Amino acid sequence: MHRPAQRLTRILACAAVPVILVASGCSSDDSSGAEDAQKDRSASSAAASAPAVEKAAYGTLPEACDTLSEKTLKDLVPEAKSLKGKTGKSDDTSSRATCSWNSLDNKGVDGSQFRWLHVSLMRFDSDEALGSGEQRAEKYYAKQLADAKATEDAKEVAAEPVAGTGDTATMVSYELKKKEGTFRQQSLVTRVENVVVTVDYNGAGLAGQSSPKTKTLVEGATKAGQEAVEAVTEANAEGAKDSGKKSGKDADGKDSGDNDGQGADPGKS
C-alpha cells in the first residue's frame, strides 16, 4: 500500500531538482546585473559630481591693428608711412591676431632712427582635456617669457614685473648688437583672463646715430601694452561695439601693407 506513495514522492523530488537549478541560475544572473547597474550608477554619479571646466571669460579679440591709439602710434613709430599697421595672417581672428608697424627717420649723412612695434593677441578657450582658458593662458604667458629671455645672442637680459597692466605682466629687456647698430628690445608679456598680450618694441640708431634709451622704450612698450589690454576688455564687455575700437584711431585709407621691407623684427633676425 505504501510503495506507490513512496515511488511518487521520489519522482516528484527528482522532477523538482531542475527547477531549483534553473531558479538558482536566474537568481545568480539577477545579482550580477544588479551589481553592474550599481557600478554604472556610481560612475554616473561621480561624473555628475566632478567639477566642469570653467568657461573662458573672454570669447573674442579686437582687431590687433585697432588696439593702439593714434597718439601712441605717433609717439612710438613717428615716421611710419601708415599708422594702419600690417595685419598678420590668422585662420581664426577671434583666437589669434597680430599687427606690426615700423618707422625709419632718415637723417641722411647724420644717420637714422629705426623703430619696430608688434602687438600679438592670443585667446584660449576652456577645454575639458586641456584645462580652463585661464590655465591655458597662464602656460602660454610663461612660455612667452621664457622665449623672450632665451633670445639668441641677447645681451644684458633683464626681466621686471609691470604693475597696472592686465592680471599679471612682465617686461623683458635686452640688447642685440648687429652690424647696423645696437638694437634695444622690449618685450612686454601680459595676461588678462584667458588672453595673452605680447608687445614687442625695439629701437636702434643707425649709421652713426645713438640708440634710444632703454627707459624710453620701456615706457613706450608699457603704454602700448596697457592700451592693448584695455582694447581686449572693451571688445568683450557686454554690449561692446566696433570690436573694442578706440576713438581717435587713424581712419584714413586702407592698410597699404607697405613696411619698407622691414616686416620682421630686425632684433630677432
% the chain with pLDDT above 70: 69
**Residue 109 grid coordinates:** 649723412
Contact between residue 67 and residue 121 where contact means Cβ atoms under 8 Å apart: yes
Q: Which pLDDT value is given to residue 16?
A: 47
Predicted confidence (pLDDT) per residue in 147-175, tens digit? 999 999 999 999 999 999 999 999 999 99
Q: Which pLDDT value is given to residue 106?
A: 87
What is 106-147 written as a DSSP string? E-GGG-EEEEEEEEEEEE---BTTTB-HHHHHHHHHHHHHHH
Q: CA-CA distance, 189 to 21, in Å (whole number)?
A: 75
Higher pLDDT, 253 or 203: 203
Q: Is pLDDT of 220 > 70?
A: yes
Stretch among 5-9, 105-109, 153-157, 223-227 having the lowest mean pLDDT: 5-9
Average pLDDT for residues 107-125, to the nearest whole number?
A: 92
Predicted confidence (pLDDT) per residue in 72-112, tens digit? 999 999 999 899 999 999 999 999 999 999 999 887 777 88
Contact between residue 131 and residue 176 where contact means Cβ atoms under 8 Å apart: no
Which run of H or of E encompasses 27?
Answer: helix 3-49
47 CB burial (10 A radius; 0-12, 13-18, 19+): exposed
Is the pTM higher than 0.85?
no
Q: Is pLDDT of 196 > 70?
A: yes
Beta carbons within 8 Å of 131's beta carbon, 6+ residues apart? 53
